Structure 1
Amino acid sequence: MTAVQKTVDISVAQMSLQELVNLVDEGTEILLTDGNNALARLVPISQKKSPRIAGLHQGEILTTNDFDEPLPEEFWTAGA
Structure 2
Amino acid sequence: MLKKFSKENVTLGFYVIYIFIAGICYELLPGDAKTPNVGVLLLWLFIPISIVYFTYHLIRHLFLNINHFTCLIIHGAVWISIYVVLTVFKK
RCO higher in 1 or 2 (8 Å CA, sep ≥ 6)? 2
Question: What TM-score results when the alignment is normalised by the length of structure 2?
Answer: 0.24
Question: What TM-score results when the alignment is normalised by the length of structure 1?
Answer: 0.26
More helix by share: 2
